[in-house]
Structure formats: C-alpha cells, structure tokens
Structure 1
Amino acid sequence: MELQSNVFDVWVFRRTPSRGVEYLLLHTSQEKADRWFNGGRFWQVPSDMTEPSERIVPAIARRLREFGLEPNAIWAAEHVYTIYNRRFECMQIIAVYAAEVTAEVVEINPAEHGEYRWCTYEEAHDLVTYRGLKDGLRSTKEYVTGPASPPRELQLL
C-alpha cells in the first residue's frame, strides 16, 4: 500500500469584529459524496498535495487561490495525523496549517463542494466529524488563533 506524506490541510480563518475568529468549512457536494464516499456528505477544510519539489507556502497559496482567497499569513499548526484515504486508496500523513484571510466570499467548485460556511470554533468543532479535523482545529486554536501573539517561529508567511 502506498504512503503519501505530501498531503496538507489548511484551517482558513478570518477575524471579525462581531464574532471574533471564524473558520472556513466546506461541505462536500453530493456528486463527490456519491462518487467517493458512499453518498455520505461531510464538512471539511481546504486540503491538497504538494507537487514534487513544491514548497508548502506556495502550495497553500495555490490551493487557496482556487477558492478566491489570498492568505495574509500562514502558520504551521503543530499537528499531523494519518488516515486511509479511500478516494486515493492509500495511507496519508496529513500536516495541518492555518491561513488568515480577510475575504468574506469563497468561490467553490460545485463538483467538489455544495456550500461553505464561516464558523466560530464551537460551530466548526461540532460540524466536523473526523478526529483528524477536530484535533487540527484544536491545535490551530491553541497555537495560532487563540494566543494574542502566535509564536513567530510557527509563522511561515
């Protein structure tokens, strides 16, 4: 079985005056769910794989541009998890990052995602079902979005 170690998740967030920190969640489209997940739809975050010799910051920026987003800053979220990905039929080691944006509107590809939502920490934690996502969100809050000044050594952009 193949092991992929070039996979990443990005907890995209923005700071708002009324609700504080909000995190971006994407709901899988029914088309994607039917094709890869036995019809099961779920909430997720932007994720992708780095291309050979591609560095992580340009890879994250590339992925976020697909949603019409431009990161103001990117951090390592100090979390990594493993899954079996049935879509790619392999084990994946997924590194978690956080990216701050200012945008409100997110462009989605209807074949991949049916909707998006900006959520508080509690809302996002309740909506995601997978342990890796929950743990990645907790780590993002602990290291990046929770402290008044996130550790400078974790900031990549």
Structure 2
Amino acid sequence: MALRACGFIIFRRLAQCSPPHNIEYLLLQTSYGEHHWTPPKGHVDPGEDDLTTAWRETQEEAGLGKEHLCMVNGFLHKLHYEVRGKQKEVLYWLAELRDPSIKVILSDEHQDYRWAKLDEACSLAKYQDLQDTLKSVQHFLEKGEGRQ
C-alpha cells in the first residue's frame, strides 16, 4: 500500500507587481535529510480524511490555518513517486494567503522558508514532478482561475 501525504500549495499576490509577476509560492526547507524544499504537507493519520490532513499539516508546519488561507476551488494535483523503495502518493490543494504580510511559523521539521516567484520556486523544488505542479498552478492562476 502506498504512503499517502496531503498538503497545500500556498501562494500570495503582491500588490506592487502586476500579474502574473505578482504571484509567490511558499516553500519550506526540511531540517532533515537533503534539506529539500517542499510545500507544507504530511502523512494522513488513521481515520483522517485527506483534506483534514492538508489543513492540519499546514497549521503544524507553517502556522497557517483556515483563518489565514482561502482555499481555491477547482485545483487538486496528485503526485506519485518512490521514497526508499516505497510508493508514495501526495495530494496538493491550492490556497491563497489572505494577508500577504502574515508571518510563517515553522515547526521543528523545517529550518527555513521562502516566498518565491515561479522560476525561483522551481529551482528550489529540485524534483521535476513538483516543478511541473508549480507550473500547472501558475497556468491555472494566469487563466483567471482561482479568483475569489
């Protein structure tokens, strides 16, 4: 059975820039392993549904809850890959930060965070499937989807 993790790709829109250059993505740098960069996500607890996991993990890892984020309807992305010989599936929803000045509060699992425009976010996210996911989010937002 595949390991399953869920999380949010979180973005904010900067007022001082015009679209599409006003979009920045939140990436967290792990404090373990290769110190890779990733959106907030984590494993599903027994009896927990996927979306509840995404909210819980985002609160735990970045200090951002439903009062800080506005979930964007119509976007759900699934990734499948192998970690240490086991299949893993990751589900990402999309959420916009309501107030771009809100501070991220990291858990012990992460040592740093960064708000990055698409190009920088893709270079930080060294895995191709995560880069592709970020690009699909950008395309989704540029098409005018995700506007409240």
- TM-score, normalized by length of structure 2? 0.78
2:130 to 130, 133, 152: 133
Instruction: Tell me whether 1:120 sits opposite 2:114 in the alignment.
Output: no
When the two structures are aligned, how many residues end up with a matched partner? Answer: 138
The root-mean-square deviation of aligned C-alpha atoms, in Å, is 2.3
Equivalence for 1:41? 35
Partners of 1:127 and 1:75 in 2: how far apart? 26
Q: For residues 151 and 75 of structure 1, do their structure 2 counterparts lie closer, same or farther at Cα, with a shift above 3 Å needed?
A: same
User: Gaps (5+ residues) in structure 1?
Assistant: 34-39, 153-157
Check the 8 A contact 1:97/1:140 in 2, yes or no.
no
Letter in 1 for 2:142: G
Q: Which residue of 2 aligns with 1:155?
A: none
| SS of residue paired to 2:143 | coil
Distance 1:26 1:141, change over 3 A: same
Aligned pair partner of 1:79 in 77, 80, 83: 77
1:69 aligns with 2:71: no
Structure 1 position 151, deviation (Å): 8.7
For the 8 Å contact 2:7–2:57, the answer to whether it is kept is no
Which region of structure 1 is more displaced relative to structure 2, 123-132 or 55-64? 55-64
Which deviations, in whole Å up to 9, do the C-alpha atoms of 1:86-128 show, x marking residues without a partner?
3xx521122222111235311112x321110111112111211
> Which ranges in structure 2 are unaligned for 5 or more consecutive residues?
none
My pick for the range that moved more, 67-76 or 42-51, is: 67-76
How far 1:148 moved relative to its partner? 2.1
- TM-score w.r.t. length of structure 1: 0.75
Contact preservation (8 Å) 1:78, 1:139: no
